[in-house]
């Protein structure tokens, strides 16, 4: 994936994902893993990065690392050109989504999953131990997060 240097070893992603999961679970937080969406046509895409994206997506889907998985990749990819997002979802840079693309991603979230039920059961608005607020909007099928920063005054 793009970075400095490029990360080309899917095993490195697996190790980091497991570390994130261990830290989250230690705090009682469950985690949804999301697949990486296609970005063919964007200047950052290379064949090597696409191979890593595919491997990391397989890991996300089948590696048993996450509490639940939101499979965004098939929800937004162009069936005619699978390394690209659907033109109807493209904001123009072949990487970021317009509103229709974001809605397609929201629709890819299984609202019957254990993790999603956890968010909904907290109430329509809840807060996790790290201070992130969660809000579930039934009309849009979106779970939104926002960080609530706490400030302490030091004497």
How confident is residue 81, by pLDDT bands cut at 50, 70 and 90?
very high
pTM of the complete model: 0.71
Range 103-120 average pLDDT = 71
Residue range 34-66, pLDDT digits in tens: 999 999 999 888 998 899 999 999 999 999 998
CA dist 109 and 70 (Å) reads 5
Residue carrying the six token digits 């329509």: 124
Helices (H) and strands (E) in the chain, counts: 5, 5
Determine the pLDDT at residue 115.
Answer: 56
> In 3-state terms, what secondary structure has residue 101?
helix
pLDDT: is 129 or 4 the higher one?
A: 4
Determine the pLDDT at residue 116.
Answer: 56
- Which element (helix H / strand E) includes 69? strand 68-70
């Amino acid at each position: 994936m793009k970075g400095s240097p490029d990360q080309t070893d899917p095993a490195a992603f697996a190790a980091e994902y497991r570390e994130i999961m261990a830290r989250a679970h230690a705090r009682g937080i469950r985690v949804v893993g999301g697949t990486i969406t296609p970005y063919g046509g964007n200047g950052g895409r290379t064949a090597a990065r696409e191979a890593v994206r595919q491997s990391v997506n397989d890991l996300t889907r089948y590696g048993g690392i996450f509490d639940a998985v939101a499979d965004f990749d098939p929800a937004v990819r162009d069936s005619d050109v699978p390394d690209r997002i659907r033109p109807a979802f493209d904001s123009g840079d072949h990487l970021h989504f317009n509103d229709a693309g974001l809605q397609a991603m929201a629709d890819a979230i299984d609202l019957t999953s254990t993790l999603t039920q956890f968010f909904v059961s907290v109430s329509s608005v809840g807060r996790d131990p790290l201070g992130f607020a969660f809000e579930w909007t039934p009309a849009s099928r979106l779970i939104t997060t926002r960080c609530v920063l706490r400030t302490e005054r030091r004497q």
